[in-house]
Amino acid sequence: MAATPSPCDSSASASNKKWNNLRNILERDGPFCKTDFTPSPDILDFLQNTAKILVIGAGGLGCELLKDLAMMGFGDLHVIDMDTIELSNLNRQFLFRRCDIGSPKAECAARFINQRINTCSVTPYFAKIQDFDDLFYTQFHVIVCGLDSIVARRWINSMINSLVTYQEDGNVDPQSVIPLIDGGTEGFKGNVRVILPSLTACVECTLDLFPPQVTYPLCTIASKPRLPEHCVEYVKIIQWDKENPFSCALDGDDPQHISWVYEKALDRANKHNITGVTYRLVQGVVKNIIPAVASTNAAIAAACANEVFKMASNCYECMSNFMNFNDLNGIYTYTYAAEKNEECLVCSNAPQALNVGNPYTTTLDDVIHMLCESPKYQMKNPGITTIMYGKNKTLHMSSVGSIAERTRANLTMSLYQLGLRDGQQLMVSDATSPRTITMQLKYNLVDVEMN
- Alpha-carbon distance of 84 to 136, in angstroms, equals 23
Q: Where are the alpha helices (DSSP H) in 72-133?
A: 105-116
Which run of H or of E encompasses 306? helix 294-313
Sign of CA dihedral 24, 29, 32, 35: positive
What is the DSSP secondary structure assignment for residue 6, as one 8-state letter? Answer: P
- Alpha-carbon distance of 223 to 220, in angstroms, equals 6
CA distances from 372 to 275, 311, 358 (A): 32, 35, 19
Q: Collapse the DSSP code of 146 into the 3-class scheme (helix H, G, I; strand E, B; otherwise coil) and give the result.
A: strand
Is 219 designated active site?
A: yes
Q: Which of 219, 231, 304, 318 is catalytic?
A: 219
CA distances from 360 to 269, 369, 420, 444, 448 (A): 44, 17, 10, 12, 9
CA distances from 177 to 173, 174, 199 (A): 7, 5, 9
Give catalytic residues, as residue numbers.
219
